[in-house]
Amino acid sequence: MDRLAPLLAALDRVLPSTRPLALHEPAFIGRERDYLLDCLDSGWVSSVGPYVDRFEGELADFTGIGHAIAVVNGTAALHICLLLVGVEPADEVLLPALTFVATANAVRYCGAIPHFVDCERTTLGIDPQALEQYLREHAELRGSACYNRSSGRRIRALLPMHVFGHCCDIEALAELAWRWKLQLVEDAAEALGSRRDGRHCGAIGRVSALSFNGNKTITTGGGGAILTMDVELARRAKHLTTTARVGHRWAFVHDEVGYNYRLPNLNAALGCAQLERLNQLLDDKRALAERYREALAPLSGVRFLTEPPGCRSNYWLNAVLLEGELAGCRDELLERSNAAGLMTRPLWTPMHWLPMYAEFPRMALPVTEAVAACLVNLPSSAWLGQGVPYGTT
Ligand X SMILES: *Cc1c(COP(=O)(O)O)cnc(C)c1O
107 forms part of the interface with ligand X (CB under 6 A) = no
**Closer residue to ligand X (CB): 103 or 381:** 103
Q: Using CB atoms, what's the residue nearest to ligand X? A: 74
Instruction: For the CB of residue 96, give the shortest distance to ligand X in the complex, in Å.
Output: 9
103 forms part of the interface with ligand X (CB under 6 A) = yes
What Å distances lie between residue 278 and 227, 251, 307, 389, CA to CA?
A: 18, 41, 19, 16
Binding string, residues 283-312; x marks residues near ligand X by CB under 6 A: ------------------------------
Q: Which stretch binds ligand X (CB under 6 A): 99-107, 192-200, 273-281, 284-292?
A: 99-107
Q: Quick one: DSSP state of residue 263? A: P
Kindly provide the residue ranges of all beta strands, DSSP E only, lying in 165-301, ordered along the sequence.
Answer: 183-187, 195-196, 199-200, 207-211, 224-228
Instruction: For the CB of residue 364, give the shortest distance to ligand X in the complex, in Å.
Output: 22
Cα first-last separation, the chain:
41
For the chain, helix, strand, coil in percent to 5 are 40, 20, 40
CA–CA gap between residue 256 and residue 112 (Å, rounded)? 20
- The answer to whether 90 touches 132, Cβ cutoff 8 Å, is no
Q: Which stretch binds ligand X (CB under 6 A): 126-134, 187-195, 262-270, 286-294?
A: 187-195
- The answer to whether 167 touches 308, Cβ cutoff 8 Å, is yes
Report the run of H or E that residue 282 belongs to, with start and end.
helix 278-296
Number of residues lying near ligand X (CB under 6 A)? 14
Tell me whether strands 92-96 and 154-158 are parallel, antiparallel or unpaired: parallel
- For 188-207, give the DSSP string: -TT-TT-EETTEETTSSSSE
65-94 binders of ligand X (CB under 6 A): 73-75
- The answer to whether 60 touches 229, Cβ cutoff 8 Å, is no
In DSSP terms, 64 is beta-bridged to: none
Instruction: For the CB of residue 324, give the shortest distance to ligand X in the complex, in Å.
Output: 28
344 forms part of the interface with ligand X (CB under 6 A) = no
Binding string, residues 23-62; x marks residues near ligand X by CB under 6 A: ----------------------------------------
**Closer residue to ligand X (CB): 75 or 241:** 75
- The answer to whether 52 touches 265, Cβ cutoff 8 Å, is yes
Q: Which stretch binds ligand X (CB under 6 A): 115-123, 186-194, 261-269, 279-287?
A: 186-194
- The answer to whether 213 touches 47, Cβ cutoff 8 Å, is no
Q: Quick one: DSSP state of residue 180? A: T
Instruction: For the CB of residue 191, give the shortest distance to ligand X in the complex, in Å.
Output: 9
Binding string, residues 220-259; x marks residues near ligand X by CB under 6 A: ----x-----------------------------------
Instruction: For the CB of residue 161, give the shortest distance to ligand X in the complex, in Å.
Output: 5
313 forms part of the interface with ligand X (CB under 6 A) = no
211 forms part of the interface with ligand X (CB under 6 A) = yes
Instruction: For the CB of residue 275, give the shortest distance to ligand X in the complex, in Å.
Output: 16
190 forms part of the interface with ligand X (CB under 6 A) = yes
100 forms part of the interface with ligand X (CB under 6 A) = yes
Q: Which residues bind ligand X (CB under 6 A)?
A: 73-75, 99-100, 102-103, 161, 187, 189-190, 211, 213, 224
